[in-house]
Chains A and B, each alone.
Chain A
Amino acid sequence: MTGEPLLTVRGLEVHFPIERGVFFRHEIGRVRAVDGISFELRQGETLGLVGESGCGKSTTARAIIRLVQPTAGEVRFLGHDLATLDEETMRREVRRHLQMIFQDPYACLNPRMTVEQLVGEPLRNFGLSTFGLAGTGDLRDRVTELLQLVGLSPRHLDRYPHEFSGGQRQRIGIARALAANPQVVLCDEPVSALDVSIQAQVVNLLQDLQDQLGLTYLFIAHDLAVVRHISDRVAVMYLGRIVEVAPADEIYDLPLHPYTVALLSAIPIPDPAVQRSRHRIALQGEIPSPTKQYQGCRFADRCPVKIARCHTEDPPLVEHRPGHVAACWVTGPNGLAAGAMGGRAD
């Protein structure tokens, strides 16, 4: 179901300078939000991007679509390098093929616009309607079609965002993203703000739309269970780096990177029999500040299986199994040795 790379990211880096001084502003440090990551999005697939807050997953999406300016690296899409492309070409030729769904369905819709205006806005911006020439009929038809696509009805056209529930607003956000017929949709935590019983509705909708329209998704979330469910491949981020990329079927059964192992063990499973017999690995400490510079592995400070080399040499992403890469000096094709991570069952 997945094919050629559609969007390729190479060495992407987003650093935010920390400045001091009033008359002589000078840089005193950098927040390394995204610090040299590479991956590719293949035609028709869903690539999941998971990690804890501050790991750089949202910044990655924002850098790809140029809501923030990358400080280095390249993003290849439709024959352009999005990292350096001028604003005008970006708007005219790229954005309509590359759209984004945002996390907060309350903040991402203008409260003063009706649903018709909200969903019609991208159509007008990209010159995809004959609005103004043949009246509004054409635009209204297309907006109606989009609303039906995301499970809303034409009678919602003239309503305002506050009249909708969170799940419905997220549907409006999705309709907006799909209005211009994009090839790639970046989904930034699209279900985290929704109630549990509503999350599944939106996840199913995203899957249906992908099947119908042949979309390619970059699906960002901190909930590994949701990510694994919807994705073909899962990339795990830690402190600005991708530490592991694995087929979704393999990541739970055979995680290779110690951080992935710990992350998986920390996620509770809603089944008392299973949950109470699991080995939990309590990671020591918290995620360090992204301003820190590293010579070696970023996870070494908290890693239960570190060796001397981890502090001095930065581990590259190595393909240990077909389609399964990890950045760790200790791991191998069969993962970490049983019991190496410690942990206990109770």
Chain B
Amino acid sequence: MADDTPLLRLDKLSTWFRTDRGPVKAVDGVDLEVRAGESVGVVGESGSGKSVTMLSVMRLVPSPPAQHQGRVLWKGEDVFGWNARRVRKFRGRECAMIFQDPMTSLNPYLKIGLQLTESIELHLGLGHHAARGRAAEMLGRVGIAMPEQRLDDYPHQFSGGMRQRVMIAMALSCDPQLLIADEPTTALDVTIQAQILELIDAQRKAAGTGLVLITHSLGVVAGMCDRTVVMYAGRVVEEGRTEDVFASPRMPYTIGLLKSVPRLDVRETRLVPVPGTPPDPQRLPSGCPFRVRCPWAEDRCAAERPELREVQAPGAARHRIACHVDVTTTPPRHDPASFGKVNP
């Protein structure tokens, strides 16, 4: 493996589901790269395809019924070409995932210890005793007191924040090279969220693990990720260094999102909402899916689908957007407020 081969590369990945009303493209031609040790934030609203993208990477979207197009490359190898045995080695050992809901992702009938040692024994080939030691060590590392004793507890004996710590311990127990965290703190309170995010960040940095953080919170990405990917209607619409995306967003959707969230440190008298509603994935508009809500939309946006293209970013870092318009030189054609209060 040459050094410049990314750990994970998505090459025009699409995932669609068959429904009675026709196929729904949940993921639509996503290009994405994650390099070793890098942290990438994937932001978007519910239904934007961010979770399905990462579930597809983990081969957790069964196909059929779902259909994939494009490729997922793990260090250059095509993930969709793997047999079940290779996929098992990939999941947990090379790439681990943390899910949103710590209440349902642990088996309520099994003791924490058993759930932790299962993958350690399988992937690291340790004996039962050694695996228990490793499990206790991991629990200690994620800040659970008296880890040896707690191995014999059931999930219901842990609080929500503690269960998410167990999930993190489980995910990191086999030293994966990439950790995918799907809204790891959405179900938790803010003070607990801060604890968990710091834990993920510290553990990841110590072990040099790459991170894909899926979230709808712009604030979380701002604090933790080297690069930011914005998704809308199953597509990547903007991608670049976190500093660049936040300081000089170039895609109207990103601009709208950033303006519509109230900030703790700045007091605006009025928020600027993104007009309209997120699109129905079964009835996406032609061309750019955001054009019906976009203040910059022009005729070309309906006729032609904008592909991801490079734009000039400070410091020559890579910054890509899927938009026909250059917002730095073009004023908005419509006043966002004039979109009115009524959602059609």
Contacts and interface: CB of A to CB of B under 8 A. Distances in A.
Interface in B168-203: 189-195, 198
Contact of A269 (B45, B192, B222, B340): B222
Contact of A196 (B45, B198, B272): B45
Nearest to B220: A268
What range describes how many residues of B lie at the interface?
A: 35 or more
Contact of A165 (B159, B195, B260, B343): B343
Nearest to A248: B267
A293 interface: no
A194 B217 CA distance: 13
A77 interface: no
Interface in B207-222: 216-222
B247 interface: yes
B142 interface: no
A200 B272 contact: yes
Contacts of B335: none
Contacts of A272: 222-223, 242-243, 246-247
Contacts of B216: 195-196
Nearest to A284: B195
B161 interface: yes
Given A197-B45, A226-B262, A268 B191 contact: no
Given A196-B216, A196-B260, A269-B264, A276 B223 contact: yes
Contacts of A268: 217, 219-220, 222-223
Given A167-B343, A273-B247, A197 B263 contact: no
Interface stretch (A86-94, A178-186, A202-210): A202-210
A269 B263 contact: yes
B216 to A, nearest CB: 6
Contacts of B342: 151-153
A225 B191 CA distance: 14
A222 B185 CA distance: 14
Given A204-B270, A268-B222, A280-B198, A199 B260 contact: yes
Interface residues of A, number: 48
Contacts of B343: 151, 165, 167-168
A125 interface: no
Contacts of B220: 268
Contacts of A52: 189-192
A60 to B, nearest CB: 17
Given A52-B191, A266-B193, A271-B246, A224 B264 contact: yes
Contact of B219 (A152, A205, A248, A267): A267
B264 A201 contact: no
Contacts of A229: 262, 267-268, 271
A195 B43 CA distance: 12
Greatest chain A CB density within 10 A among B161, B195, B271 is at: B271
Contacts of B159: 286
A273 B263 CA distance: 14
B222 A204 contact: no
Given A198-B274, A204-B270, A228-B262, 12 more contacts: A151-B341, A168-B277, A197-B257, A197-B260, A197-B278, A200-B272, A267-B190, A270-B219, A272-B243, A276-B223, A280-B194, A282-B194
21 contacts: A52-B191, A52-B192, A53-B189, A151-B343, A165-B278, A196-B261, A197-B257, A197-B278, A204-B270, A205-B341, A207-B270, A226-B262, A228-B267, A229-B271, A267-B264, A268-B217, A269-B219, A269-B263, A270-B246, A273-B243, A286-B162
Shortest beta-carbon contacts, A-B, top 8:
A268-B219, A151-B341, A200-B273, A270-B218, A229-B262, A197-B274, A266-B194, A200-B260
